[in-house]
Every structure is written in C-alpha cells, then in structure tokens.
Structure 1
C-alpha cells in the first residue's frame, strides 16, 4: 500500500489535477486517492494554497475602456435626418413634381448611405483595433499563465523551503513568507501583511551572512499577495526585516534595534 501511494505521489497526477490538465479517468483516480489517503489530502490542500497564492499574485483588473465602450455603444442613438418637403407648384406638370420628389428621395437616400458607410468604416476600424488589443491581451495573459505555472512548479519543488517571518512587538501584524531553493538558487517572497509606517520610513529585507548583512530590497504594502523574486544569497544564515528611514540605511550596531522580524535558514 505504501509503495502504491509513493508511486502515485511521484507520478505528478496531483499537480496536473490542480492545474486542470487531467483526463476524466485521471480525475476519478486522483479523487479516490484524496478520499482514501490522508497524506494525499494534505498534499492536495497544500497545492491548493500555493495555487491561491499565485492567483492573487497575478490578479489583473479588466481595462476601464471596455466598460466605457460598451456603455457608449448602448446609449448612442443613430441620428434621424428629416427629408425636406418638396416644393409644391400648383401649375407644375405632374412629371416635374414626380421628378423633384424622386430627386429629393434619391438625394436623401444617398446622404443616408454615405453617413452609414462612414459610420460602418469607423466601427470596422474600432473592431480591428479591439481585435489587435485582444490579441495583445491574449499574448500577455499566455505569458502570465506561463510565469504562473513556472512559479507554481518552483513552489512545489521538493527542494524549495518555506520560511514564515512574523513581526515582533513593533510590528505585530507583519507576516511575509519566503520560498528558497538552494538547488536552483532562487528566492521568492510573498508579502501577506505589513503594518502601516510613517511616510519617512520603509520596510527592508536583509540576508544575514557570516560577516555582514546584505540588503535584498524594500517591502511595500502595494505588493501584498504578489509573489516576487528577491536576490538569492549563497551561504545565507538567515533573513530579517527592518524598519529603516527612506533617506537611506546603513548596517551598524543599531541593526538589531531596527529589526521587526527574523528567521533562521536551514543549512
């Protein structure tokens, strides 16, 4: 039974099931394993959490111009052009009157057709522009999806270690999660929550080496739930988050006083 479970866990079916790329038969097989084995259920929940992190990290709002274009298309009315009444002459021959009426009708129809052709040409151009925009959006979304899948694979790599940094008394609600893979030499961080700071201060993340501290960048509230890459530091002993002035920071004896979150890395 344990060998059967091990074969299933190494098959990659669970990852494919999370990403929605399995067949109906494979879906039944995965679901039966989830129902039967607590280990599979726990791994399934972990993969779901990771996928949720990635979904939040790549959330994109719909462009505002689409809604405005739809509203304009619904509310715009086609102008009605009244036809002028033909002049009446009591003594004009009937065929002159008929010819005048026909000329007016023909002129009015020609003008309407001309206006409609211009309107259709403009609409066609708008459609062509929107098609190009949609193609560009599809290409961008495909690139983002590819990045999401790559990040998903990195998160679920057995070599990737997860480290949670929680704030101390100076930043009680601070929480960030670091993902470090020493084999691929990659580091990513997910900013879960950051307490608000005064305008002249920032949060900064540091790597602790044997003989010095290395600045890995600034953490901002606007990056909340956005998984991003940070520099990978070889032989780092730990990570720490400090509160520093925006004017600049220097590693000195006060570094420990500025620290609000720390975590020790596995060797």
Structure 2
C-alpha cells in the first residue's frame, strides 16, 4: 500500500470533520493503527482544526441577552382582532388559457428537474459502488498485509523452521509449506496447491513424534494461493509433519487412507 497516496487522497481531512461513511471511518481507524504516518497526519489535522476554531471564535456582545429579552414582549388581549382581507375587484381574472400555460410550464419544469435528480442519483450510486469496491479491495490488502506480518514475526523468531510438503500419488500437484517454531510452539501453513474438498471435509496437519501422530490443527485449501493460515494448535515437538483429509472440524486420529503428504522436519 502507498501510504503517501492514501494521505494525499483527502480522506483523512474528511474523517477529521466527520464527513465520511461508517465503513470509511473503520478503514481510517484500522490503517492508522497499522501505519504511524497516518496516525501522525490525523493528529496534525485535528490540532489544525482546533486552532482554526479558536482563532476565528467570536465572543458575543455582553448586552445581547438583554436586547433579545427586550424584544420579546407579549401583549395580552381579551378580544380577537379581526381584519378584513383586501380584495381588488378592478383586476381582471386570469383566463383559462393563461392558467393552462402556467400549469404546463410548471409541469415541464418539474419533469426536467426530476430527470436531472434521477441522473444525479444514478451517478452517485455508481460512485458509491466504485468506492465500496475500492474499500473492499483495500480491506483485502490490509488482511493480507497482517498475514504477512504474522509470518514475518514467526520467521524472525530464533529457531523457526520451514518444512516443504509435496503431495503423493493421491495429490500429485500438492504443494504447501509448514512454518513451525519449537520455542513459541506456533504453527502456520501456506497452501500453494491442494485439491478442493467437499464442504464437510477439511485438511488436517499432524505432527509425528516418535512415530505417533499429534493433532496440529485443521486448515482449508483456499482459492487464494499462498494465503497463510495460522493454526490454533501448539506443537512443541515434531520429527515430521503430515497432511490427511478428515471430516470438518478434525479427527482425533489420522485417516491413513487419505494421507496426501509427509516430510521430515530436518529434511
């Protein structure tokens, strides 16, 4: 993401004065928590707005309240005041033709105005749809960036290991990576290519310790290649890692007939 272009887009100014949508507000808050440059720009804009308001503030005159109260005088009257409505009988009444022309002109004007407003509405809807699509793409980029940051944090820790798993004859094009840190016991997978499964199935990672399988967590073969998935299980020991196909949610023991890949940690 280009932080400079985002700051220069004008959305931060709109956010400070409250002229953004709820989705845009969440977007700015999310990005400002990730990028210190955006948070710094928001602080400067807020300070500038506060200084501008203080600079142009005007103290009302001291006698303003008394002058207003003096103008608010009410006279009570027990009898209603009735005034005749002036009627000028000397003026000729408008003819039917003139009235029809006026009505037709007003109708035409309303039609043109309605057409103009409808065109503006469609244009605004198109612009809103484009902004929503752009915002959705930006959110996906932020999610991917967070995933990459988690991976980098895992890989930068001392002792982190990367194990490449390749599919057997049941998944000849299978390809994925396992990231594991014995000290933090964190495990993550990066799927490059795995066969699609039924909705009630999931892939399950196993840690082999002394030949015995230990559940390392379940994951999906996502359509977005190279999407990192951090597993919820923690593994402190592993001689090898293996992948099987299990029912959704995982299984306490591996189904050996669905074994797709296996690799030693030190291979």
| Length-normalised TM-score, structure 1 | 0.46
Between structure 1 and structure 2, the one with the greater Rg is 2
Name whichever structure is richer in helix by fraction: 1
